[in-house]
Chain A
Amino acid sequence: MRDDRPPPALCIRDLTVRYDGVAAVDGIALNVPAGKVTALCGPNGCGKSSALKAIRRLVPCTGTVELWGDDLSRAPHRTLARRIAMLGQAPDAPKDMAVRDLVALGRYAHRAGFGRLGADDRAAIARAVAATQLDDLLDRPLGALSGGQLQRAWLAMVLAQDAPILFLDEPTNHLDISHALSTLGLVRRLADDQGLTVLVVLHDLNLAAGFADRIVFMKAGRIAGEGTVAEVFDADLISQVFDIPCTVMTRPKSGRPFVVTE
C-alpha cells in the first residue's frame, strides 16, 4: 500500500437516491482513487448497491459525480459507458446466445450505426476473452455454462467495453469460495497490471479485506467509515456498522486483516 496518491478517478458529492420519498442513499461524498480496488461494504439495505447504480446514473438521483474532473451528469449513456463499465447483480441474456455474441455486445458504446466489428473492437474482445480464459467456450450457448463460467462470460462482456473504470455489484454472489477467489483475483490483476479503477460492492468482509486497497463502509444510506484496509478494518467500526460483536485478526501469510465473530 503505497502512499503516493493519484488524483481521484471519481469525485462524488452530495449523492442522494430516494425511493418513494425515503432516502436509500443520503447525501454521500466520496473520492474513488484511480488504479485502486475500492470495496463498498455494509449490511443489507445500507444503500451500497443503490449508490453504485446512482454513480453510474442507472437510478434517478441528485448530486454530482465527476470523472477525472468532468461533470458527466448530462452525458448520454453511450459516453458514460466508454468511461465506466458495470456488471450488475442479476445480468440476463437469452440462453441460446453464444458467449462470443455476448462479449461482442460489450462493444456497443464504441460502435457507430452499421458495420461489422472493427480492428479495435476485435482487439478489445480478444483481450477480454484472454483475461477471463474463455477461449474454449466462445461458441457455447449461455444456457450450457456453469455458474462460474457464466460469471466469466459476463465479466468478459464488461471488460470488452474497455472502460478505465469498472463497477461490480456483488460479483461473487452465487459463486463458491474458489470461483469467488478467482473472480476477485482477476479483478485484482486488472487493477495492478492495467491500472483499472475498480469500485466493487461486496457483502463478504473477508473477501473485501483480502482483495481491496480501500474499503468504504456504509450504514443507513451514509458513509460510516472510509480509508485503506489497514485504516478502517477495525473491530469497533465493524461492530458498529453491522451491529455485531467481532474480533479482527491478521492473516499469517499476506498480513491482511480478517474478521471473526463468536
Chain B
Amino acid sequence: MIRSAGPLAAIALALACLTVAAVALGSSAMPVDRVIASLLGHGARMDGIIVWDLRLPRVALAILAGAALGVAGALLQRATRNPLAAPSVLGIVDGAALGVLLFLLIFSDAANALTVSVYWQPLAAGIGACVFAAAVALLWWRERHSPMRLILYGVALAALANALVVLLIIAGPVFRASQALIWLAGSVHTAEWRDVQILALCLAGLSLPALLLIRPLDHMRLDDQSARASGLSVDAARVSALAVSVLMTAAAVSVVGGIGFVGLIAPHLARLLFGSAIGAQMLGAALIGPIMVVGADLLGRLAFQPLEVPAGALTALIGAPYFLYVMVRRGQAHA
C-alpha cells in the first residue's frame, strides 16, 4: 500500500479538482473561489442554490454511481477470473434497467406519478439484475473452464434484456418513452438529493460485505485448487462476490440508468496502478470510476451545448472500443 500512496493521492486530487470543475461549469460558469465558498457553506445565497440544489446532487450522484460501478467491476473480474467481465458486458446493467422499467410501468398511474415509494426502485433493479446475472451464471457453470463462454452468454442475455426494454418502451405508455430512453442511456441530469440518499444508503449497506470479501478475493489470486487446498471455500467466495457486485450495479443503475463500461475500465486502470491486491484495486476503482462518470457527464453537457449527451453514451464511446482492444489482445495472447 505504501508504494501506491503517490498514485492514490494523485487520483484523489484529480477527482477533487474534477468535482469542483463539474460544480463550477454549466450553463453559467462560476469562478472557483465562489464554488469553494459555497461548498464550505459561506457563499452568496444565489450561488448556494446553484451549487447545492442544482449542480452538487448531480455531481454527488455521478461520484457514487462511478464508485459503485468501479468496485462492482473489480469484484466481478476477480470472482470470474475474467478481465472482460464487467456489469454491462454480463447483462447485469441491462437486467437492472429492465427491472426498473417494469417497476415504472407497473407502479405508475395515468398522471405519470408513482403509486409506491421511489425507495422501492433499487429493489426492482436488484431483482432484474439478479435474474439476469443468475441466468448468465447458470448457463456458464457447466462450461466454467471457458472464459469466452461467460462473455458470450453475458452479451447474448444483455441483448435479450435490451430487446425487452425496447419492446416495453414501444408498447408501453407514450409519455414514458422519451424519459425512459434518456434514463436508459445513462444520465445523471435528473439528479435530486433523494437519489443521492438512496444510492448512498445502498452502498453503505454493501460496503461491509465488500470489505469482508477482501481477504478471500486476495486469496483467489491463487489458482482454484491451491486456494481450496490452503483453506478457502472458492465457490462460496465466488458467489458472494458476484452477489455484492450485482447488487452494487443494481443500486447504481436504479438511480442513474445504464452507464456502461465504467466497471470494465476502472478496475483495469486500478490494477495497473495499484497491483493485484484486491483492497487497493477496489479503492482505486472507487476513485477512477467517479472520475469517468463525472468527466463523461461534464463533457456531455459542455461539448454539445445546448444539447446534453447522456454520460452513458460517452462512457460507451470510450468503453466499447476498449472492450474490443482487450478482447483482441487476449486472443493474441492465447494463440
State yes or no: do A and B come from one complex. yes
Interface residues of chain A, those whose CB is within 8 Å of chain B, are 53, 56, 58, 76-78, 80-82, 84-88, 90-94, 96-97, 105-106, 108-109, 111, 113-114, 157-158, 161, 167
* Contact yes or no, A91 B223, CB < 8 A: yes
Complex Cα–Cα for A158 and B226 (A): 9
- Given A91-B225, A96-B275, 10 additional A-B pairs, CB 8 A: A58-B225, A76-B233, A77-B228, A88-B223, A88-B225, A105-B221, A108-B230, A108-B231, A109-B231, A111-B215
* Contact yes or no, B233 A56, CB < 8 A: no
Complex Cα–Cα for A111 and B232 (A): 11
* Contact yes or no, A113 B223, CB < 8 A: no
Tally chain B residues at the interface, Cβ within 8 Å. 18
**B residues within 8 A CB of A82?**
231
**B residues within 8 A CB of A92?**
222-223, 226
Complex Cα–Cα for A80 and B229 (A): 8
Within 8 A of A (CB), among B205-263: 211-212, 215, 218-219, 221-223, 225-226, 228-233
Residue B276 CB within 8 A of the other chain:
yes
* Contact yes or no, A108 B223, CB < 8 A: no
Complex Cα–Cα for A80 and B227 (A): 12
- Of the A-B pairs whose beta carbons lie under 8 Å apart in the complex, a sample of 25, sorted by A's number, is A53-B225, A56-B229, A77-B231, A82-B231, A85-B229, A86-B229, A88-B226, A91-B223, A91-B225, A91-B226, A93-B222, A93-B223, A93-B226, A94-B276, A97-B221, A105-B222, A106-B230, A108-B219, A108-B232, A109-B231, A111-B215, A113-B215, A158-B229, A161-B230, A167-B229
Complex Cα–Cα for A94 and B225 (A): 15
Complex Cα–Cα for A215 and B226 (A): 25
> Assuming the A-B contacts A111-B215, A113-B212, A113-B215, are A94 and B221 also in contact, with contact meaning beta carbons closer than 8 angstroms in the complex?
yes
Q: Which residue of B lies closest to A82 (CB)?
A: B231
* Contact yes or no, A105 B219, CB < 8 A: yes
Complex Cα–Cα for A80 and B231 (A): 7
Top 8 nearest A-B pairs (CB, nearest first) are A109-B231, A81-B231, A92-B223, A86-B229, A78-B231, A94-B276, A91-B226, A108-B231
Q: How many whole Å from B148's CB to the nearest CB in chain A?
A: 19
Q: Which residue of A lies closest to B211 (CB)?
A: A114
* Contact yes or no, B225 A109, CB < 8 A: no
Complex Cα–Cα for A58 and B232 (A): 11
Q: Which residue of B lies closest to A79 (CB)?
A: B231
Complex Cα–Cα for A95 and B221 (A): 10
Q: Which residue of A lies closest to B216 (CB)?
A: A108
* Contact yes or no, B223 A90, CB < 8 A: yes
Complex Cα–Cα for A86 and B273 (A): 33
* Contact yes or no, B233 A77, CB < 8 A: yes
Q: How many whole Å from B282's CB to the nearest CB in chain A?
A: 15
* Contact yes or no, B228 A157, CB < 8 A: no
* Contact yes or no, A97 B276, CB < 8 A: yes
Q: How many whole Å from A114's CB to the nearest CB in chain B?
A: 8
Which of A78, A161, A167 is in CB contact (< 8 Å) with B233?
A: A78
* Contact yes or no, A105 B230, CB < 8 A: yes
Within 8 A of A (CB), among B262-314: 275-276
**A residues within 8 A CB of B215?**
108, 111, 113-114
Q: Which residue of B lies closest to A89 (CB)?
A: B225
Q: How many whole Å from B88's CB to the nearest CB in chain A?
A: 25
**B residues within 8 A CB of A167?**
229
> Assuming the A-B contacts A96-B275, A111-B215, are A157 and B221 also in contact, with contact meaning beta carbons closer than 8 angstroms in the complex?
no
> Assuming the A-B contacts A92-B222, A108-B219, are A77 and B276 also in contact, with contact meaning beta carbons closer than 8 angstroms in the complex?
no
Which of A76, A91, A96 is in CB contact (< 8 Å) with B222?
A: A91
Complex Cα–Cα for A114 and B218 (A): 12
Q: Which residue of A lies closest to B233 (CB)?
A: A77
Which of B219, B222, B228 is in CB contact (< 8 Å) with A58?
A: B228
* Contact yes or no, B229 A81, CB < 8 A: yes
**A residues within 8 A CB of B231?**
77-78, 80-82, 108-109, 161
Q: How many whole Å from B278's CB to the nearest CB in chain A?
A: 11
**B residues within 8 A CB of A81?**
229-231
* Contact yes or no, A88 B230, CB < 8 A: no
Q: How many whole Å from A233's CB to the nearest CB in chain B?
A: 30
Complex Cα–Cα for A105 and B229 (A): 11
Which of B230, B232, B275 is in CB contact (< 8 Å) with A157?
A: B230
**Digit string of B60-77 for contact with A (CB within 8 Å is 1, else 0)?**
000000000000000000
Complex Cα–Cα for A157 and B231 (A): 12
Q: How many whole Å from A207's CB to the nearest CB in chain B?
A: 23
**A residues within 8 A CB of B232?**
77-78, 108
Q: How many whole Å from A97's CB to the nearest CB in chain B?
A: 6
Complex Cα–Cα for A25 and B228 (A): 21
Q: Which residue of B lies closest to A88 (CB)?
A: B225
